[in-house]
Amino acid sequence: MLMIKQWAHRFFQWFCHPDFYDEIQGDLEELYRRNLVQGKRRAQWQYLGRVLGLFRPSLMRSFSHDLLMNLPMFKNYFKISLRNLLRYKLFATINILGLAIGLAAFLLINEYIRFEESYDGFFSGADQIYRLSTVQVVNDEIGVKDAMTYHPAAKVLHDELPEVEDYTVTYKFGELVFRQEDKLISEEQVIAADANFFNVFDYQVIQGSANDMLAEPNTLVLTQSKAEFYFGDQDPIGETLEILGRFNQAFKVTGVIQDIPENTHYKFDMLMSDESIKEQYENDDWNGFNYYAYLKLKPQANIFEVKDKVDDLSRKYLGEEGSMGFNLFPITDIHLKSDYTFEAEIPGSEKAVTFTRIIALFILFIAWINYINLSTARAVNRAKEVGLRKTVGAYKVQIIGQFLFEALLVNFLAALIALLLSELSLPYFRQLVGQAFLPHVWNHPPFLYSLLTFFVVGSLASGFYPALILSGFKPVAVLKGKYRNSKSGALLRKGLVVVQFTASVVLIAGTFIVYQQLRYMQGKDLGISTDFVVGVNMPRGQNNEEARERITTQIQSFKDALRQHSAIETVGGTSNLPGGDGSDINSNAGKLRIVGLTDRQTGTIYLQFNDEDFLAAVNMQLLYGRNFDRNRVADSSVVMVNQAFLRKFNISDEQSVLNEYLQFGEDDTNRKFEIIGVVKDFNRTSLKSSVEPTLYLPDYAPAASVVKLNPEQYQEGLAYLQETWAEFFPDTPLDYTFLDDRFAALYEQDRRFGEIFSTLSVLAILIAILGLFGLSSFMAVQRTTEVGVRKVLGASVPSIIGIFYKDFLVLLGISGLIGIPATYFGMNSWLENYAYRIDFPWLLAILAVGIVTVFALITVGYQIYQVAILDPAKTLRED
Partner 1 sequence: MKAYPLGEFEEIVLLTVGVLYNEAYGVAIKDAIEEKAARNVSVGALQSALKRLEKKGYLESRTGESNEQRGGKPKRYYTITAYGKQALQESRDIRTQLWESIPKLALDFKCS
Position among 4, 11, 25, 275 found at the interface with partner 1 (CB under 8 A): 25
Position among 15, 20, 122, 700 found at the interface with partner 1 (CB under 8 A): 20
Phi-psi category of residue 596: left, alpha or beta, with phi > 0 → left and psi -120 to 50 → alpha = left
Position among 13, 27, 93, 211 found at the interface with partner 1 (CB under 8 A): 27
Radius of gyration, alpha carbons of the chain: 37
- Site stretch for partner 1 (CB under 8 A), options 20-28, 567-575, 756-764, 775-783: 20-28
Residues composing the chain = 879
**In sequence order, which residues have a C-beta less than 8 Å from that of residue 543 and are 6 or more positions away?**
246, 279, 280
Find the shortest distance in angstroms from Cβ 36 to partner 1.
11
What is the DSSP secondary structure assignment for residue 296, as one 8-state letter? E
Task: Pick between residue 54 and residue 820 the one whose CB is nearest to partner 1.
Answer: 54
Q: Are 545 and 732 in contact (CB under 8 A)?
A: no
Alpha-carbon distance of 403 to 398, in angstroms, equals 9
Task: Pick between residue 2 and residue 843 the one whose CB is nearest to partner 1.
Answer: 2
Find the shortest distance in angstroms from Cβ 9 to partner 1.
10
Tell me the number of residues near partner 1 by CB under 8 A: 20
User: Is 689 buried (19+), middle (13-18) or exposed (0-12) by CB count in 10 A?
Assistant: middle
Closest by CA to 501, choosing from 769, 806, 803, 770, is 769
Task: Pick between residue 12 and residue 455 the one whose CB is nearest to partner 1.
Answer: 12
Closest by CA to 575, choosing from 566, 562, 584, is 584
Position among 30, 188, 262, 786 found at the interface with partner 1 (CB under 8 A): 30
Task: Pick between residue 33 and residue 630 the one whose CB is nearest to partner 1.
Answer: 33
Chain centroid, CA 124 distance in Å: 26
Residue span 179-208 as binding mask against partner 1, x where in contact by CB under 8 A, dash where not: ------------------------------
* DSSP secondary structure letters along 420-467: HHHHHHHHHHHHHHT----S-STT-HHHHHHHHHHHHHHHHHHHHHHH
Task: Pick between residue 56 and residue 806 the one whose CB is nearest to partner 1.
Answer: 56
Half-sphere CA count of 28, side-chain side, radius 13 A: 24
* DSSP secondary structure letters along 792-839: HTT--HHHHHHHHHHHHHHHHHHHHHHHHHHHHHHHHHHHTT-SS-PP
Task: Pick between residue 50 and residue 548 the one whose CB is nearest to partner 1.
Answer: 50
Task: Pick between residue 24 and residue 479 the one whose CB is nearest to partner 1.
Answer: 24
Find the shortest distance in angstroms from Cβ 113 to partner 1.
54
- Site stretch for partner 1 (CB under 8 A), options 22-30, 169-177, 296-304, 845-853: 22-30
Find the shortest distance in angstroms from Cβ 64 to partner 1.
19
Task: Pick between residue 19 and residue 141 the one whose CB is nearest to partner 1.
Answer: 19
Alpha-carbon distance of 656 to 594, in angstroms, equals 11
Closest by CA to 757, choosing from 356, 366, 434, is 356
Position among 4, 15, 24, 518 found at the interface with partner 1 (CB under 8 A): 24
Find the shortest distance in angstroms from Cβ 6 to partner 1.
13
Find the shortest distance in angstroms from Cβ 19 to partner 1.
9
Q: Are 326 and 310 in contact (CB under 8 A)?
A: yes
Please list every residue from 34 through 73 that binds partner 1, using CB under 8 A. 50, 52-56, 58-59
Alpha-carbon distance of 626 to 613, in angstroms, equals 12
Closest by CA to 374, choosing from 106, 104, 97, 103, is 97
- Site stretch for partner 1 (CB under 8 A), options 17-25, 345-353, 366-374, 399-407: 17-25
Find the shortest distance in angstroms from Cβ 855 to partner 1.
59
Find the shortest distance in angstroms from Cβ 66 to partner 1.
22
Find the shortest distance in angstroms from Cβ 3 to partner 1.
17
Please list every residue from 257 through 316 that binds partner 1, using CB under 8 A. none
Find the shortest distance in angstroms from Cβ 41 to partner 1.
19
β-pair partners for 662: 594, 673
Position among 6, 10, 13, 29 found at the interface with partner 1 (CB under 8 A): 29
Binding site for partner 1 (CB under 8 A): 20, 22-31, 33, 50, 52-56, 58-59
